[in-house]
Amino acid sequence: MKLSEKDPADNKESDVVKKKLNWSCSLIVASLVGALGSSFLYGYNLSVVNAPTPYIKAFYNETWERKHGHPIDPNTLTLLWSVTVSIFAIGGLVGTLLVKLIGKFLGRKYTLLVNNGFAISAALLMACSLPAGALEMLIVGRFIMGVDGGIALSALPMYLSEISPKEIRGSLGQVTAIFICIGVFTGQLLGLPELLGKESTWPYLFGVIAIPALVQLVSLPFLPESPRYLLFEKHDQAGAEKAFRTFLGKEDVSRELEEVLAEGRVQRHIQLVSVLELLRTPSARWQLITVVVTMGCYQLCGLNAIWFYTNSIFGKAGIPPEKIPYITLSTGGIETLAAIVSGLVIERLGRRPLLIGGFGLMTLFFGILTVTLTLQDHAPWVPYLSIACILAIIASFCSGPGGVPFILTGEFFQQSQRPAAFIVAGTVNWLSNFMVGLLFPFIQKSLDTYCFLVFAAICFAGAVYLYFVLPETKNRTYAEISQAFAKRNKAHPSEEKMDSAVTDDKTNGRPETDSSSTLDNYVKNRIV
């Protein structure tokens, strides 16, 4: 073999080594700790109210009777319970609207740290509501926990998106969805009667929330801030270089710095755009529409309806009522497993196949589930087919639609646009969540089992839209993703000239310089 020739096996081995190097210890710790105190708590609070429902209603009745001298009216009790459940979404919307204001001054990391204050205060309020005999404490605690969730689901994906190399950005972003599923499963597990799902211990179900928040509070300060935030918004060149070295696990970060500067056209001199300015930006129009569609479908795809029907379907399959909570754990397990598998394959398959395929499979299984629920009394094996459909729908959701929308929101927009974009995405997310909670009982009452056809239509429409509009973002820089939308937007993003300049430099054979000189040259020659 000639010395100039390279063995393909060596290239393959080099790619494997490079991929391993991308996963530095700091990057793994940041994703795990960040998700534990953020998206985990969101998922936990989605499921934690299910098990203690009868005990909380009894507590409301006793408190009402003690204060007013007579039992609570059933309609009033239903209203109070509905408020307790749905106020979480209202708090989430408030938290989403606060993200940009807090993040502008504190950055991504310290926004997550401050957010732990909401989680801990909410945990104390809800855990002490029974001893204090104050139902208002539980409702206010749920609202504050919603604020925590709203901030977490915007700040965490932003942080993970900005600290990760583009080669593993999807896998790292999927950590958000994985920990949502783990949170849901943990809420189901701790809600079992043998653990905390009892009349005397249900307040501890809410007090547990403080533990992940405290873990994040003592761990995250030892990790760096987002290097993109330091470079563009704080103008801290040295801090950004240090953060890149920590997260990438290597000393030479000149290539990454060059990519970041090229993508943002030296955005240290560009102000963060407002939501209104983002809505008026032609070069971001289809990115926004796509985020609205994916986030809307994320909440309106019918997964909440699945949770509503699970117990009745398991009951009709002949499972004893006392065994149903344990069987329900299988749904949380399937969720978590599907999310983990998605995180492992997302950098191989890409975002587009997982998202379109997930919504497409949900459409198929919703259709089959409608048929099996309609015919479930015709044969003893039909309810078991319904159970299989439920598990398939949950797996389809978590394989793509459950996590990819958060990743896309971080990938579609430049640094100056990203906080406003997450406000739009979060607003759609929480309003859709509230809408499902408000309208689903009426849809279910009117259509009964045929209500799943509504969700099948939503999933199908989402899959068709994404098939025609969504480009693949795997292994692309933010500037390249903006260029992918440029033709559809009929307006070139502001970075185009910057990318052309960088390309010209490389074409003309100009040497690449090291990190600090690269930054200085860009600042001198490429200032907007």
- Select from 413, 397, 160, 157 the least CA-distant residue to 291: 413
CB 413 within 8 A of CB 481: no
Mean pLDDT to the nearest integer, 310-314: 71
pLDDT of res. 503: 41
Is 21's pLDDT higher than 80?
no
- Binning pLDDT at 50, 70 and 90, where does residue 26 land? confident
Q: Using CA atoms, how far apart are residues 154 and 421, in angstroms rounded to an integer?
A: 9
- Select from 343, 401, 414, 363 the least CA-distant residue to 168: 343
Neighbours of 194 (CB within 10 A): 8
Q: Pick the residue with more confidence: 235 or 528?
A: 235
Top mean-pLDDT range of 8-17, 317-326, 371-380, 463-472: 463-472
Tokens 């003893």 belong to residue: 380
Q: Pick the residue with more confidence: 494 or 138?
A: 138
Task: Please name the residues in contact with 228: beta carbons below 8 A apart, sequence gap of 6 or more.
Answer: 162, 240, 260, 264, 415
pLDDT of res. 329: 83
pLDDT in tens, 364-384: 999 998 898 888 777 778 888
CB 203 within 8 A of CB 126: yes
- Select from 22, 25, 29, 28 the least CA-distant residue to 221: 29
Top mean-pLDDT range of 45-54, 235-244, 357-366: 357-366
Q: Pick the residue with more confidence: 454 or 12?
A: 454
Q: Using CA atoms, how far apart are residues 512 and 257, in angstroms rounded to an integer?
A: 11
pLDDT of res. 501: 40
Q: Using CA atoms, how far apart are residues 471 and 476, in angstroms rounded to an integer?
A: 11
Sign of CA dihedral 519, 520, 525, 528: positive
pLDDT in tens, 265-280: 544 455 778 888 888 8
Q: Using CA atoms, how far apart are residues 301 and 435, in angstroms rounded to an integer?
A: 12
Structural domains of the chain in order of their starting residue, each with its CATH number: 23-269 (1.20.1250.20), 273-491 (1.20.1250.20)
Q: Which two tokens mark 370?
A: 């409608």
- Binning pLDDT at 50, 70 and 90, where does residue 263 land? low
pLDDT of res. 15: 45
Q: How far is CA 464 from CA 196, 348, 399, 459, 481, in A?
A: 44, 22, 18, 9, 20
Is 492's pLDDT higher than 90?
no
pLDDT of res. 209: 93
**How many angstroms separate the first and last alpha carbons of the chain?**
51
Is 229's pLDDT higher than 90?
no
Widest CA span in the chain: 95
Q: How far is CA 109 from CA 31, 229, 415, 512, 515, in A?
A: 11, 10, 16, 31, 24
SS3 readout for 169-193: HHHHHHHHHHHHHHHHHHHHHHCCC
CB 481 within 8 A of CB 264: no
pLDDT of res. 200: 83
Give the percent of the chain with pLDDT over 90.
22
Sign of CA dihedral 185, 433, 402, 24: negative
Task: Please name the residues in contact with 404: beta carbons below 8 A apart, sequence gap of 6 or more.
Answer: 170, 174, 177, 294, 346, 351, 354, 355, 358
pLDDT in tens, 124-148: 999 998 888 888 899 999 999 999 9
pLDDT of res. 483: 83
- Binning pLDDT at 50, 70 and 90, where does residue 252 land? confident
Q: Pick the residue with more confidence: 445 or 163?
A: 163
pLDDT in tens, 385-395: 888 888 899 99
- Select from 196, 202, 194 the least CA-distant residue to 326: 194
Which residues in 238-269 are b (16+ Cβ under 10 Å) and which e? ebbbbbbbbbbeeeebbebbbbbbbbbbbbbe
CB 339 within 8 A of CB 178: yes
Is 11's pLDDT higher than 60?
no
Q: Pick the residue with more confidence: 182 or 318?
A: 182
Q: Pick the residue with more confidence: 333 or 357?
A: 357
Task: Please name the residues in contact with 282: beta carbons below 8 A apart, sequence gap of 6 or more.
Answer: 489, 490, 491
CA 50 to chain centre: 22
Q: How far is CA 384 from CA 242, 260, 380, 389, 396, in A?
A: 56, 52, 8, 9, 18
pLDDT of res. 199: 82
Q: Pick the residue with more confidence: 346 or 316?
A: 346
Mean pLDDT to the nearest integer, 246-274: 69
Is 68's pLDDT higher than 90?
no
Mean pLDDT to the nearest integer, 62-79: 83
Q: Which two tokens mark 104?
A: 């502008």
- Binning pLDDT at 50, 70 and 90, where does residue 257 land? confident
SS3 readout for 365-424: HHHHHHHHHHCCCCCCCHHHHHHHHHHHHHHHHHHCCCCHHHHHHHHHCCCCCHHHHHHH
pLDDT of res. 115: 93
pLDDT of res. 528: 30
Q: Which two tokens mark 390?
A: 């439920």
pLDDT of res. 479: 76
- Binning pLDDT at 50, 70 and 90, where does residue 16 land? very low
Over the chain, what is the mean pLDDT?
A: 80
- Select from 22, 9, 38, 46 the least CA-distant residue to 303: 46
Segment holding 127, helix H or strand E? helix 74-127
DSSP 490: T
pLDDT of res. 94: 92
Is 214's pLDDT higher than 70?
yes
pLDDT of res. 491: 66
